[in-house]
């Protein structure tokens, strides 16, 4: 089913926020009027793309995520994305071409930890080149690669860029760990 560009924008915004959100927060993030957002939120909820666990709070459903074209992540895929990698497949941080920091991340969780320690110049260098997106795609995480692209498009710099990237990667690590725990609990 095709949805309007405004509904898609709201779904993408909810996906990027990655947390329960109020109408005014969604309106602010999308740049749309409160009343317009409210009307679309009600429609998206009726269509099953969003849920409202409590009055005035909205969350994205799996159906909403599928609308954005992301594959469902099962236990096996989550394990693959979170796995430790050999040194040649690890992410190697640089500050410029030919200027390595001699710091590498051997897993997504390791990347999350190291991102807070590397020079912000390195983060700017890699985000502008699309290196993070490419590495996340190589891990098999299309969703994280897309979020990283959106961070790049917002043109954050320095500590703000570091913090945004850290929050997105940390949230994704937690989400994937939860998928793994649920799978273990049901077996």
Same domain, 86 and 150: yes
Give the C-alpha distances (Å, rounded to integers) separating 84 from 29, 43, 79, 127. Answer: 35, 42, 10, 22
Q: For 94, phi and psi rounded to 5 degrees?
A: -130, 160
Does this model's pTM top 0.85? My answer is no
Measured distance CA(96)–CA(156) in Å, rounded: 18
Domain range enclosing 173: 75-186
CATH number of the structural domain spanning residue 53:
1.10.10.10
Question: Where residue 65 falls among pLDDT bands split at 50, 70, 90?
Answer: confident
Per residue in 104-150, pLDDT (tens digit) is: 999 999 999 999 999 999 999 999 999 999 999 999 999 999 999 98
Measured distance CA(87)–CA(65) in Å, rounded: 33
Domain count, the chain: 2
């Amino acid at each position: 089913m095709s949805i309007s560009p405004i509904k898609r924008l709201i779904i993408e915004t909810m996906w990027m926020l990655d947390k329960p959100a109020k109408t005014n927060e969604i309106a602010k993030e999308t740049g749309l009027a409160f009343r317009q957002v409210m009307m679309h939120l009600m429609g998206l909820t009726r269509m099953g793309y969003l849920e409202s666990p409590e009055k005035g709070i909205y969350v994205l459903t799996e159906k909403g995520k599928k609308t954005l074209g992301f594959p469902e992540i099962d236990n096996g895929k989550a394990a693959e994305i979170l796995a430790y990698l050999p040194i040649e497949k690890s992410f190697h941080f640089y500050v410029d071409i030919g200027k390595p920091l001699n710091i590498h991340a051997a897993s997504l969780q390791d990347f999350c930890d190291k991102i807070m320690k590397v020079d912000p110049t390195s983060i700017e260098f890699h985000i502008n080149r699309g290196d993070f997106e490419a590495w996340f795609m190589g891990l098999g995480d299309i969703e994280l690669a897309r979020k990283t692209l959106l961070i790049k498009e917002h043109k954050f710099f320095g500590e703000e860029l570091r913090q945004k990237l850290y929050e997105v990667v940390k949230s994704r690590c937690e989400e994937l760990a939860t998928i793994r725990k649920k799978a273990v609990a049901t077996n």
